[in-house]
């Protein structure tokens, strides 16, 4: 594990005269997974955790204190190792309001008091990280070969395989069935503390077991790499012994039929065989993990609310989840499910998209298709859950056979706004669409755009002047909203 203390001791970093300004406990022992430099204020969704983020700080320090704290909070939520701001030449230390915000949010803040090339710092530290990762890969590669040889020569004897894992990783290894019953354990028990990694073992699209690795070492790198790389070979070992129950077979067949768009009669038959209540409505969600999909058993339990029946299947690297629920209270059930999913995925490397409700299980394929389309449109980050209903306008626009016919309507509704943006390099269109999408809520849209309410009010005043009045009292609010969505789709992603 490369710690922040080691990073600060490297020659390129030492040349920048770093001073830790925050008082976050355990700062110097924080693990640094990578060094990244960026001046982009919306960088947080692109980070995975453990990064040391280098920044010149000019854009950040130009923001009001409240917006600086929003930036700090967004980085802390991604669990980065630290934020290092180069303040050389400014003549004054970093503002105390920023330091206090870092302390409140648990984000280590480092002030770099001398100019030093960020590329030199990144190169030196990332070389240390890569060398450590290469050593861990060698251990896991050797372990993988030994397990494969064990399976080939002597068969998939689970106790022996778990003992090989425990010995090579110096870890406590346990394997549990989906119902929590223990399938096997090896290695010395590890008390609280140290590091931990988990991986779901999937056989035939079904969650067959949960692998848990625990080590007294604080460095999780080796365990996480092993969990990532060895879950596949453990699935091969379990495949010869794992026999899915009739219920699991029925569940897999139903989800495959939904995914492939089988005929209504087949889906209805499989729906009943899977034990789902006849006549229930359905939602299909798609979950995508950039890592080991370790949290999904907990996510699945969280989704079992208000009489909702949950069926899932791993398909082409994504997990399709069928949520069957009564017709009565469908809207409220959807809100509860979305909230449960967002709470369960918070801080994980998994994202999701929920398709729209469908009245019958035989139409579940439609919900699945829309969930996939929303994944493509929204490109969610880790821990994010998208709702198809937020993308209805964009999906309708995408379905228009001849989109060019919208151009004249867009120009008629928003011509002055678009012309102002072109001439002045502003983002009034993005501001207008964000405000409309928020239900014309100024506070919410200002927060989404990461600007102050006063700035939002100024932009809205200009927009209303260009539109000839307040769209809410014009009788054309719906038309303006459609035109704004069409214009935004034509020019690409929204600005801030």
Residue 131 falls inside a structural domain? no
Token output for 474: 């014009």
Higher-pLDDT residue of 326, 381: 326
Residue 155 near residue 149 (C-beta atoms within 8 A): no
Residue 125 falls inside a structural domain? no
Residue 87 falls inside a structural domain? yes
Start-to-end C-alpha separation, the chain: 37
Token output for 175: 């394997």
Mean pLDDT of 194-216: 85
Residue 130 falls inside a structural domain? no
25 and 9 in one domain?
yes
Domain finish residue from 343, 374, 397: 397
252 and 231 in one domain?
no
370 and 263 in one domain?
yes
57 and 18 in one domain?
yes
Domain finish residue from 215, 239, 263: 239
With 60 as the cut, is the pLDDT of residue 356 above it?
A: yes
Query: Which is nearest to 174 in space by CA: 210, 218, 120, 223?
Result: 210
Cα–Cα distance between 154 and 151 in angstroms, integer?
Answer: 6
Residue 127 falls inside a structural domain? no
Q: What tens digit of pLDDT does each residue of 62-119 get?
A: 888 888 998 999 999 888 999 999 875 556 788 999 999 999 999 999 999 988 889 9
Q: What tens digit of pLDDT does each residue of 130-186 get?
A: 998 899 999 999 999 999 898 888 888 889 999 999 999 999 999 988 778 898 999
How far does CA 56 lie from the centroid of its chain? 27
Mean pLDDT of 207-227: 86
CATH number of residue 201's parent domain? 3.30.450
135-153: burial string, b at 16+ Cβ within 10 Å, e else: ebeeebeebbeebeebbee
* Confidence category of residue 5, pLDDT binned at 50, 70, 90: very high
Mean pLDDT of 259-283: 93
Mean pLDDT of 300-314: 86
392 and 253 in one domain?
yes
Higher-pLDDT residue of 463, 402: 463
For residue 365, what are the contacts with CB-CB under 8 A and spacing of at least 6? 258, 259, 260, 261, 262, 267, 284
Query: Which is nearest to 232 in space by CA: 133, 317, 300, 163?
Result: 317
Least confident of 280-284, 329-333, 401-405, 414-418: 401-405
For residue 361, what are the contacts with CB-CB under 8 A and spacing of at least 6? 267, 268, 271, 276, 280, 281, 282, 324
pLDDT at 146: 92
Token output for 127: 């070389």
Provide the residue range defining the domain that includes 430. Answer: 400-491
Residue 14 falls inside a structural domain? yes
343 and 409 in one domain?
no
Domain finish residue from 99, 116, 133: 116
Our count of domains for the chain comes to: 4
* pTM (whole model) above 0.75: no
220 and 288 in one domain?
no
């Amino acid at each position: 594990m490369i710690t922040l203390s080691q990073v600060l001791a490297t020659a390129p970093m030492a040349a920048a005269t770093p001073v830790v300004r925050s008082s976050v406990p355990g700062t110097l022992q924080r693990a640094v997974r990578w060094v990244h430099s960026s001046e982009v204020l919306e960088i947080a969704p692109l980070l995975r955790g453990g990064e040391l983020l280098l920044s010149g700080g000019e854009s950040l320090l130009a923001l009001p204190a409240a917006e600086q704290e929003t930036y700090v909070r967004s980085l802390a939520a991604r669990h980065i190792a630290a934020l290092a701001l180069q303040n050389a030449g400014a003549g004054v230390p970093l503002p105390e309001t920023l330091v206090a915000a870092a302390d409140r949010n648990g984000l280590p803040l480092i002030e770099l008091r001398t100019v030093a090339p960020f590329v030199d710092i990144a190169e030196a530290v990332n070389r240390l990280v890569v060398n450590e990762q290469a050593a861990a890969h060698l251990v896991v590669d050797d372990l993988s070969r030994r397990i494969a040889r064990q399976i080939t020569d002597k068969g998939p004897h689970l106790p022996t395989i778990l003992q090989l894992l425990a010995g090579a990783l110096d870890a406590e290894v346990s394997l549990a069935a989906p119902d929590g019953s223990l399938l096997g354990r090896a290695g010395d028990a590890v008390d609280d503390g140290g590091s931990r990694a988990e991986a779901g073992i999937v056989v035939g699209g079904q969650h067959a077991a949960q692998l848990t690795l625990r080590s007294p070492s604080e460095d999780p790198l080796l365990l996480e790499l092993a969990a990532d790389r060895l879950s596949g070979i453990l699935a091969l070992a379990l495949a010869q012994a794992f026999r899915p129950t009739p219920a699991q077979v029925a569940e897999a067949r139903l989800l495959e039929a939904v995914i492939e768009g089988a005929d209504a009669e087949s889906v209805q038959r499989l729906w009943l065989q899977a034990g789902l209540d006849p006549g229930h409505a359905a939602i299909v969600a798609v979950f995508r993990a950039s890592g080991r999909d370790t949290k999904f058993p907990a996510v699945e339990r969280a989704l079992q609310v208000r009489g909702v029946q949950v069926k899932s299947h791993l398909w082409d690297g994504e997990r399709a989840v069928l949520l069957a629920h009564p017709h009565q209270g469908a809207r409220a059930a959807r809100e509860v499910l979305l909230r449960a999913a967002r709470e369960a995925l918070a801080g994980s490397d998994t994202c999701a998209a929920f398709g729209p409700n469908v009245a019958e299980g035989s139409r579940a394929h439609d919900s699945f298709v829309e969930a996939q389309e929303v994944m493509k449109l929204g490109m969610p980050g880790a821990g994010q859950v998208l709702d198809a209903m937020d993308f209805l306008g964009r999906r309708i626009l995408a379905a228009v056979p001849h989109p060019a016919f919208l151009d004249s309507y867009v120009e008629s509704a928003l011509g002055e706004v678009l012309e102002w943006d072109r001439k002045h390099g502003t983002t009034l269109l993005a501001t207008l669409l964000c405000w409309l999408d928020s239900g014309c809520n100024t506070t919410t849209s200002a927060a989404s755009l990461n600007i102050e309410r006063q700035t939002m009010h100024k932009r809205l005043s200009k927009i209303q002047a260009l539109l000839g009045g307040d769209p809410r009292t014009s009788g054309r609010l719906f038309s303006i909203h459609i035109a704004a969505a069409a214009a935004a789709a034509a020019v690409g992603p929204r600005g801030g």
